[in-house]
Amino acid sequence: MSCLWKICFWVLILFGSGISIASAQVLTAEDLVQAGVARLADILELTEDWVRSSTEGYHWNIAPLGASWEASPDWRLFIDGQPIDLHALNRQSLNVLPLAITGICEVRLHTHPVVIHGILASGGAIQITRCIPEAGISFEGQFSAGNETGDPGPYRYTSFGGSNVDRTGPTVHSSLAARSHDRFIRVTGMADEHHATDPRIRPRVVQLYQGEKDARILHRALGLDTGLFGHSVNAGTSRVEDLMFLPFMGREIPLDQEFSYASASFSQSRFRYSLSASLAALNTRQNPESVSIMFTRRQLYARASTHAFLMGTSRLEYGVSAVLADARFASGQEHDRLNSLRVDATFAPDLRDPLKMKVLSAFSLDDGTPGYELFAHAWHEEREIGLRLLMKRRALASRINFASWVTRGHHPGDAELHVQDLDSSKRESVYSADLHWAAGNMVRLYLSSGIRRYVNAVRPFTVSALDSTQTYLQAVTGIISTRGTVARTSLRVHYPVTRHFTFGVHGVYAYPWSKMHTFRDAWHHRLQVGLRGEFRPSPRFSLNLQLRYVGSSTWHEFERAARDRPGFYAAQLPGTVHLHLTVQKRFWSDRLRMSATMRNVLDHPHLTHPAGARTRALFQVTLHYAFLVRSRDVS
């Protein structure tokens, strides 16, 4: 990038000229249905500032562009205000969640540091909020099935036909709920299937996959959530018969993935508590090469907080939280624990309207290493301009992720892992500044800029070459300390053209710079722009269009593989245009809704990951049903 671009960036950031951030992108349940979202990961198709990659089209590695590492994402997930840790060996896949799409009321995506119930999510956050069921008994669900184009059809029996490509689904989400006054209980069930048969990944997959049917990923999940006497209790468990591509293993490993969680929270008057426990487990299935990966992580999070009013209406909230993590490797032979204790205080002074401010300070003890977090957010409500500042310095142990376990001497599987000579007493530091501005009444403009500085950021860095059979990747992974800076800027415009037609454009650009290539190489994407349109000629019928251009991405870790097999692997993936179209119709007084979605309408086969399947056009049909028997006290 030339010096001119760098200067422009600094000018834009310093003066905020025309670039600012909306506080968050909010997707409602209606947005999800109208866009034909069938899986949780499909939600990311609607995001404006998030990038994603996948090897098989089911598990997606996602990150807010320029705000969180793509290779080892550190964004936080919250479900109904509860922090949920999805990490399983450096992967966070939304599709593993035991959460029904149909129960989601709102998804809030933050691409900047944000404080949620006393937790500072420095790398952005996804907040999923579920709807409280309606009074009475309700039965709701969704059934989807789809097929990627590109199958050979009858040409399979000729010399010019290829092999089958992926089929998606059927995907079933269903829930049964009962509610009376402020008490409710809801049970949900999910089932999903995804075929991993793309010709690009199939040779790797079938090396280890053994099964009666063609290679596929199977997901089953159950969930429960209830609200009783002010207490909110959620629980869920999911099982995935997975074919998980692990970068440090260089191929798809057939393993059973389990994710279970339970959480409870209560808030009344000045007291609030929050408890959550999660279990993530990976166990390899039988395979011809006896590749074995066994990993189990149990984690407990607890927080209690209270608040007081100072000097009239200035609010001070303070809390204490603890995280206990227990991990087991290699059939339980290796066992380790990490713990973290944190006290925090959030002060919202009563400034003269329309000026608002919130300041958080927190002190932590992460596996015996002290750390701190300082965050301030000030904004002008009338002018809709604001500034966020962050200083965070905490031990690697606070992140409880793949890098933290490996640096403690645990090596999952037979992967080649090297740990750089890290100073365990050193802490990772993040410093950031984000400016945001919104303007307009009918036509809304949202602009944002941010800059983020990382010091002593510990992350895995994998270099992949081909094995002697040229089938799978031989990966060498280093756990290294890096430093660098990344700047981002984004724009959104929302324009209701007519009563029936709304239009929006968005764009985001991020640029990292550092003397260390290991820092620069962690940010694969730079640019993403898009537009969306929604046409509703009738309240019961809609057309939804999403057009997105994802700029080229660079994957230096695949340079050796690209040299070994240039026609197959590439260190640079070209930019791609995605066009998605959804037609949606309500029936039977909203009890039924049917949508037909075409993803990648232009049918440009493209890669989102150098070692991944080619994504082709996908046609999907979704039927959503909702039946309600109202209770007498409401009717």
Partner 1 sequence: MKYTLAILPLTFITVSCLAQVPFSRLALRIQGTQNVNQSRLHDYWHPASGMKVSASTPFYTGDWEVSLGIHRFNNSTDVPGFGALWISSGWALKIPVTHRMMLNPGISIGNYRMSFDESVTGYSGEQSESDFVSSIGVLASLDLGRRWFVFSQAEYLRVQTQPLMHLWFVSAGVGVQMNMGKILQTLLE
Which residues bind to partner 1, rule: CB under 8 A? 147, 149-158, 160-165, 167, 212-214, 501, 533, 535, 537-538, 540-541, 543, 545, 579, 581, 583, 587-589, 596, 598, 601-603, 617, 619, 621
Q: Which is nearer to partner 1, 145 or 277 (CB)?
A: 145
Q: Least distance (Å) from partner 1 to the CB of residue 44?
A: 22
Query: Which of residues 244 and 579 has its CB atom nearest to partner 1 in the complex?
Result: 579
Quote the CA–CA distance of 65 and 10 in Å, as a whole number: 18
- Check residue 20 and report its DSSP letter: B
Which amino acid, residue 186? Answer: R
Q: How far is the CB of 504 from partner 1 (least distance, A)?
A: 15
Residue whose CB is less far from partner 1, 337 or 591: 591
Q: Which residue lies nearer to partner 1 by CB, 499 or 632?
A: 499
Tokens 């003890």 locate to: 365
Give the nearest distance from C-beta 219 to partner 1 in angstroms.
20
Q: How far is residue 527's CA from residue 575's CA, in Å, rounded to a whole number?
A: 9
Nearest residue (CB) to partner 1, 150 versus 484: 150
Between 15 and 541, name the residue whose CB sits nearer to partner 1.
Answer: 541
In the complex, minimum distance from the CB of residue 545 to partner 1, in angstroms, rounded to a whole number: 7
Report the C-alpha gap between 325 and 259 in whole angstroms. Answer: 15
The CB-side HSE value for 149 (13 A sphere, CA atoms) comes to 13
Contact (Cβ atoms closer than 8 angstroms) between residue 451 and residue 484 = no
Facing residues of 551 across strands?
none
Smallest distance, partner 1 to C-beta of residue 251, A: 21
Burial (CB < 10 A; 0-12, 13-18, 19+), residue 339, is middle
Residue 275 or residue 547: which is nearer to partner 1 going by CB? 547
**Three-class SS state of 558:** helix
Q: How far is the CB of 540 from partner 1 (least distance, A)?
A: 7
Minimum separation from the CB atom of position 194 to partner 1 (A): 15
Whether 105 contacts 175, CB under 8 Å: no
User: What count of other Cβ atoms lies within 10 Å of the Cβ of residue 352?
Assistant: 6
Q: Shortest approach of partner 1 to residue 607 CB, angstroms?
A: 17
Q: What are the b/e assignments for 412-421, b being 16+ CB within 10 Å?
A: bbebbbebee
Least distance (Å) from partner 1 to the CB of residue 585? 9
Q: Respond yes or no on whether the N-terminal peptide bond of residue 354 is cis (omega within 30° of 0).
A: yes
Distance, in Å, from the CA atom of 619 to the CA atom of 596, rounded to the nearest integer, reads: 7
Report, in Å, the least distance between residue 581 CB and partner 1.
6
Whole-angstrom Cα distance, residue 557 to residue 520?
A: 11
Contact 253, 244 (CB under 8 A): yes
Q: How far is the CB of 147 from partner 1 (least distance, A)?
A: 5
Name the residue nearer to partner 1 (CB basis): 161 or 574. Answer: 161
Q: Which is nearer to partner 1, 166 or 428 (CB)?
A: 166
β partners of residue 366: 340, 369
- What letter does residue 122 receive in the DSSP assignment? T
How far is it, in rounded angstroms, from Cα 599 to Cα 582? 8
Cis bond upstream, residue 170 (ω within 30): yes
Pick the closer one to partner 1 by CB: 341 or 545.
Answer: 545
Report yes or no: 94 and 43 within 8 Å, Cβ to Cβ.
yes
Beta strands 114-116 and 444-466 are unpaired
Q: Count how many Cα atoms sit within 13 Å of the Cα of residue 122 in the half-sphere of its side chain.
A: 25
In angstroms, rounded to a whole number, what is the distance separating the alpha carbons of residues 392 and 344?
13
Nearer to partner 1, 5 or 541 (CB): 541
In the complex with partner 1, the residue whose CB is nearer, 156 or 517, is 156
End-to-end Cα spacing for the chain: 64
Q: Kindly state the smallest distance separating residue 426's Cβ from partner 1, in Å.
A: 52
| H and E: helices and strands count for the chain | 6, 36
